[in-house]
Every structure is written in C-alpha cells, then in structure tokens.
Structure 1
C-alpha cells in the first residue's frame, strides 16, 4: 500500500493499527506527516516548534505498544513540556526556553505510543480565541485564510482540519478546545474537571477552569486519547477516578434513550449567528429521530457579574504567571516582552487585594453550582458552541483592542456557551454538525452533561457521528 496516497483515509487509531500490523512503519508515517507539514504549513502557519528531526529519530527507536503506537503527534505549545524541546508559550519572553523535563501529559502520550512531530501555535499565554502572537505571527484557517482557526488550540486545530495529522493535543480554559473544534470542523472534548492532571510545573489553571485534551477527526480517537492521558496523580487539587471500562470501549455502547435539553439563547444576551441556531435545530431533529426526548430549556444567571469575576480571577492568575516568569528568567517582564492585553491583565491582577481575589473565587464557585444545577436537570444539554462565526484575522486583537473591551468581547460574544462549563467543571464536547453555505465555514454544536459523565457524551457523540458523519468534509486548503 502507499500510505502517502491513503493517509487521509485513516484516523489516529487506524494509523496505529497499520503500524502494529506491519503494513507501514513508524518512520514511513513520520515522513508522510513531515511532507504534509511542508505542503500546508507555509499557507496556514501552525508550526510553533519544528520537531521533524527529533521525530525521525524517535520513529527509529523503541516505541511503547500503546493505542497510538507509531502515530506522529502534535503538541500544543502552551506550558506543555517535552524534555529538550522549546516551549515558547506564544511569548517573546519564552521564545528560547527549552523544557528540562516531561510533563505528565507528555509522559502519558509517549507511553501511549505517540511520536512528537511538531509543537503547534497558540495565542500569547493562551488567552485568546485566535492564534495570534508576536513570536510566530497569525495562524490561519484552512477553511478561509482571512479567518482564525480558533484558539487557543489554534495550530492544533488548523493542522488537524487540513488533514496534516488526525489528532493533536489541546487544552481548554474557556473554550480553547471546543472553539477551534467548532471553527475548524473537528471533535473537541473538554473533559470533566479532574480527569486529566496538569503539571509539572502547573498544578492548576484558574481554579479548575483549565484542562488538557485534544482535537481530532473522530470520536473514537478522542475517547482513546482520554484513556491514554487521563487519570489523576497523588496530590491533584481536583481528582476523578478513571472509569472501570475504558472510554474507547464504552463509547461504542448505545447511549439509551436520553432526556435532552437545548437552547440557542446566549447567556450573555448577545446575538447568535443564524447558522449556529440552524445547526442546533437540525441536531435536535436528529436526536429526536434517534429516539431521544428533546425539549427547550434556558439558562438563568447573572452573566455580567459572572464575566466580571472571571476577568479579575484571570488577571490574578496571569499576575502569578508573570511572577513565575520573572523568577525563571531572573528579571521582571516588561511591556516589550508581551502584547498589550496580556501585560495589562497582569497589572490588573496586581492591583487586587487578597480579599478581592478570595471574593472572586468564591463567587465563581457559587456560579459553578448554579450552572451545573441548571444543566443536570437533563442527561445532556445542547447549545451552539459559538455565538459568532470564526472571526477575521485581527478582529479584537491583543495588541490594539482596549483591555476591558477585549475581555467583554471574548467572554460575552465569543465564548458565552463554552466558558460556563469551565467554571462548572462539567464535561462538554463540540461536534461539527453544521455548515454555512453562505460563508463556507463549519459550525459546531456543543453537548454538556453532569460531572463525570464524559462517557455518556462520547456514547451519544458516537451515535451521532454514525448517523451524520463529517470526516469526508474537507477544507479548501488541505494536505
């Protein structure tokens, strides 16, 4: 067989099966992926750190016999440490930093059989829904190069959407897996809080708002990835036991008849893109046809107060990140080291008192209970993933947009459906179930469930994927 010609037919588990069966070698797969990077990256700019030579070396060595045995791997370049490889975090300050150890996710990815081929681009320090930074520049969408592929898992989403690779690492602190999955036509799961550990050196991001995960072409790849990287470690601030049945096997089971709620009303009160509303309506009809009970619901909480507490909490979080950066490099970060928004965010965090910060954290925990309580009245709740279409490059950017306006726009217009579940800790998955004929863009639909019910979401997602497959829909720019 010619894997170069047939690569696009396979998801990551399919590629691993080829290697395990001896149909292709890990080195052959790596060469194909390197060729696909070279073909598409000049147009899309998704590579943050080129790891091609390291990948070639690793592919010739002993590879653990995990579920992804011999599959090339793209790692999001945001506080993800692979020993001996740069970790730029999308910042000028870190652009020459080289990781001195493996992070927990990397250790587990290696054990799962992955081989590093590239680290992928991110917005500066991860706080943006677009792939923009001063180190690597803008990452572009393969669906429309005038638009962003989303963020903060920007390069990962662009590469998977362009079929350079079938799966890539991501992380999600406000929608950073689900938003790019929606904008790029991919599967994107934010797992339950505590499913996947952070670190080292980070043990927690934003009081449980952040988690790692992946973007992928298929639900089964996402399920298998959760099996590989999931499971708490001693001392985790949030710990959730691994399921008795692996997620991959469990995802193949029938979900049963579910009670599903849906809404297309943004909790922030912003207008919702017509194509996103249509995608939800079609998904509701599909779920009814599959035998589920579906009814309309709504969320009711003070989004403006919620947004303000998030803004201050994240300011304090980035202030800490700046302190850690100063300690690491032996000097205080300046305005020349970071984009205007990130520098302003850290300064705003410095101005908070301890009582201010404690009040924000406690308020967000109260909001978490409200959001979760309104969600778990149903087995699953369906919403749009995004309220708007994929933004144009430079829209609401981190250099020119004033600090307060940037926060209001990102939280209220871009991620009003996603960030509530970072606060609640509930699992949520975006599936590519819509397409805008007018704009030529994919549209994501989000499904959320009770804490720990990641398996239920994956079972429903598998059922929907079988009924309404998406893998053959290609963007204009692809490998």
Structure 2
C-alpha cells in the first residue's frame, strides 16, 4: 500500500517496523513520508540542523535489518557524529565541522534498523533547557509556536511531536531528554549512567553527568530501543547494573505496588506554577487509584547547583581550548553565546579543588538518594516548575545573571538524576487549560529502568497520550 501521512502518524516505531516486516510498506516509503512531513513542518518549528534526505533515501533502498528496520530517525547535533554530516554542537565556533565517521551510538541506531533523515538542533554545547542558538535560531514548540520545545534535545522533541518521526535520538546532561519531552507531550527516559554510549571518543560527558538515548511517543518504543542499544562502550569507567530481564519484558508486566515519595518541601521552595502543582496532585491521585503508595519525603539539593555549574563550566572551557588547539586558532568569545562565554571564563578560573569538591557533592547526593530509596521505590516531581517557556526566556544569548535566575526558576528538579547517575523519566500525563503539555518526572534507583518502564506502561494504559497531537 502507499502510506499517507495520517496512516503513518497513527503508528509508533514498533508499529511501522511491523508494517515493513509484513511487506505492507517499504522502508523507502516510510522515508519519503518522513521527508515530506519534515519539509512541511520544519519552516515553522525550525528543528533540523542539517537534512540527510539523500543519504536516507540511499540507505532505505538497501536491505535493512534490526527491530526497527526502515523507521525514520534523527541524530542530535551534539557529540554524536554521523559520517559525512556536519557536527556543530549548535555553535558558530564549530561551523563547517564535518564528522569523519559514525559515533558508537549512531552505529547502534543503524544496527537497530533506524534510518537517520536529519540532524536535529541543539543549543550551544547542550547548555540550555531551551533550543535557541545564534547559529540556527530558535526551535519552536509544535503545541505553541511562541514557546520553546525544550532543551537541549529540543530539535528531537519538536520533530517527534510534529509527526516527522515516532522517536528521535536525544541526550541528557541535566534534564535534556526529560525537559523537551515534557514541553512537547512525549515520553522521555534518561537511562542510568553507563547504560548507553554517550558520544564519540569518550565514555563520559561532563564527568559522568550525561546520558544518551531517545525521546519517543510510546513507552514500548523506548523499551525496545533500550534493549537494542544498551551496553556501556568499551573502556567505560561506569557500567550500569544489569537490567532485571529485558526492558521489553518489563512493560508486559504490571508493576508491584510501589512506594512513591513526593518532596513537598523542595517543591514549595521551587515556587511551582499552579499548572505544575495541579498536574502533580492529579498524578498523585492517579497513582493512588492504581494501588501505589504516595507520601511526602525529604530531599535536600543544597549546594548541588554550584557543583553543577563549576563542573559544566570547566568542561566547556576545556572543550573550547581543545578545539582552538586543533584548528590552530583560539576560539574567540564573539564565536560563542553570551552565557557560554561567561561559563568559559568561570571554567578557566576554577581551581582543581573546586572540581574535586563538586564531585564530592555529587557522591554525597548519590548516597543520600540511595538512603531515600531504601524507603521509596520512586521519587515524584513535576519535570519542570513552569509550563513550556516562551522563546527567549531561557536562551543562552541573554545576560548571564538573568539567564541563571530564569534557568533556576524553570528547571530545578531534573539535574539530580544526572548528578547521582540514576534513571529518570518524564511522562506526559497532563495538559493545562491552554492545551500545553505538563510533564511529570519519576526518578528510580540506579539500574532500575525496568521499574520505571513498567510503571510508565501502566500509566500509558490508564491515561493514554499517543492520540494527542498538536495542530500545525
């Protein structure tokens, strides 16, 4: 059959792959539908850093194997090279940089049968929770074009929400899978530290803070993709504990009665927007109705923001110094965003003892979280403290002090899972009166993605979201 867009978008990646296996459609037909949709919606959402249309057409004409054989996909423009394609990290300082070969994650995605049709946008070096850059402009939310699609995987979330593809590669150093998933009404799982490869020529990013995986429309796609690409890269210092069975098996079984803690004191201090508070209360009631135990808990995040800032600043400064040396010309401050420049200055001035203290703070946080998880299986918060941000409100081109204030008020809950290495997910369980998605975050024990996915599948069945699509 010849697949229309409306038929295409009714399927998740698992469903599209099943059509290909059954011979109902070809990989080439899926790619053409995805390209046509991308060409239609990218002008308003601005989510493509670089098209790979010709490469995708050529790949789809060849025999493809794997659990997602023939399914269109995108790779994020951050640390994950695609051979022959630009890799700019959202920065003018890397404009013209071409990847010589695929990175490990790209290799695994291809082995799973996925067909990259484009490189998705990222803010500079993945430093923000919106996706806005001087190089590419602002990536916009398909639910409301005046608002951000989130960051730093905002290109991925916008493409999936707009129906270009059913799932897309994303990375997460402080919430960058969960935040855009929340902004665009999608499912976003950040795996445990050491579960998946995080980039090219390294096994950790930002000293172990980062993770790499995907944003999806369905829970089963996330589970089956995790089964397909999981495994720490060779030489990794951090290797995630083995999953309890496969992720695909986890979504087929109902979760045991879970003990779920809500850090009310932390939430009160964060000054939640009423829509986010209402979403949290609504989901707490849903969880109780499903038989889970929900009660208040204590979670102390003091000192972690400073530790995060100095760590990210030092790594950003080192990246630019390395790039300047490689190209034979130092990176000038007018080649990078205003906030990035401030971070680079901070990173260059940081003492080694500050980095050691920051690492110690992360270790202490992991210990405190492990103690908390002796009582609670999961920790529950809104993904964000506010609905999706207006364009420009949390952009790297702002004055650094006002940016820091806006960032802290907008996104106070996600980074803890990066600092401790735990898995976490944003689940699209609530829409506000304006029709904007409000994501809900669950944080699990290290290595226990199966628990998260099992609950996510139960929630997806109790309150389906797959049918919800923005009108563009």
Q: Describe how 1:3-402 pairs up with structure 2 within 5 A.
A: 3-4=3-4, 5-63=6-64, 65-243=65-243, 245-266=245-266, 269-302=269-302, 305-402=303-400
Worse-matched range after superposition: 8-17 or 79-88: 79-88
Contact 1:449 1:457 (C-alpha < 8 Å) held by counterparts: yes
How far 1:151 moved relative to its partner? 0.2
Separation (CA, whole Å) in 1 of partners of 2:366 and 2:399:
29
**Over residues 239-278 of structure 1, what are the superposed CA-to-partner deviations in whole Å (9 max), with x where a residue is unaligned?**
1254362211222111121122224554692210111111
Give deviations 1:411-453, integer Å, cap 9, x for gaps.
x22221101111111111100011111x220110111111111
C-alpha separation between the residues in 2 aligned to 1:337 and 1:62? 43
1:203-236, Cα deviation, whole Å (9 max, x unpaired): 2112211000111100011111111221113310
Mapped contact 2:151–2:176 kept (Cα < 8 A): yes
**Would the aligned equivalents of 2:189 and 2:222 in 1 still touch at CA under 8 Å?**
yes
CA RMSD after TM alignment: 1.5
Distance 1:328 1:219 in 2: 42
Question: Is the partner of 2:141 in helix, strand or coil?
Answer: coil
Residues 264 and 32 (structure 1 numbering): CA distance in 2 closer, same or farther, change over 3 Å? farther
Rounded to whole Å, the distance in 1 between the matches of 2:127 and 2:374 is 28
User: What TM-score results when the alignment is normalised by the length of structure 1?
Assistant: 0.95
Residue 207 of structure 1 aligns to a residue whose secondary structure is: helix
Question: 1:360 deviation in Å?
Answer: 2.0
**Secondary structure class of the residue paired with 1:28:** helix
1:448 partnered with 2:460 = no
After superposition, give the CA deviation of every residue in 1:321-366 in whole Å (9 maximum; x if it has no partner): 1122113322110012111111221111111122222222222222
Does 2:455 correspond to 1:460? yes
Q: Report how many aligned residue pairs link the two structures.
A: 471
Distance 2:291 2:396 in 1: 45
* C-alpha distance 62-268 of structure 1, shift in aligned 2 (>3 A): farther
Asked whether the equivalents of residues 268 and 413 of structure 1 are also in contact (C-alpha less than 8 Å), the reply is no
1:416 to 409, 412, 420: 412
The question of whether the paired residues in 2 share the 8 Å contact of 1:266 and 1:416 is answered with: no
Partner SS, residue 269 of structure 2: coil
Tell me the CA shift for residue 184 of structure 1.
0.5
Secondary structure in 1 aligned to 2:188?
Answer: strand
Q: Is the 8 A contact 1:264 1:280 kept in 2?
A: no
Moved more, 246-255 or 42-51: 246-255
Which is further off, 383-392 or 291-300?
291-300
Deviations 1:100-150 (A, max 9, x none): 121111110011001110110111111001111111110011111111010
> Structure 2 regions of 5+ residues with no counterpart?
none
Q: Which residue of 1 aligns with 2:421?
A: 425
Quickly say closer, same or farther: Cα 1:42–1:364, change in 2 above 3 A.
same
Q: Is the 8 A contact 2:243 2:447 kept in 1?
A: no
Contact 2:14 2:68 in 1 (8 A): yes
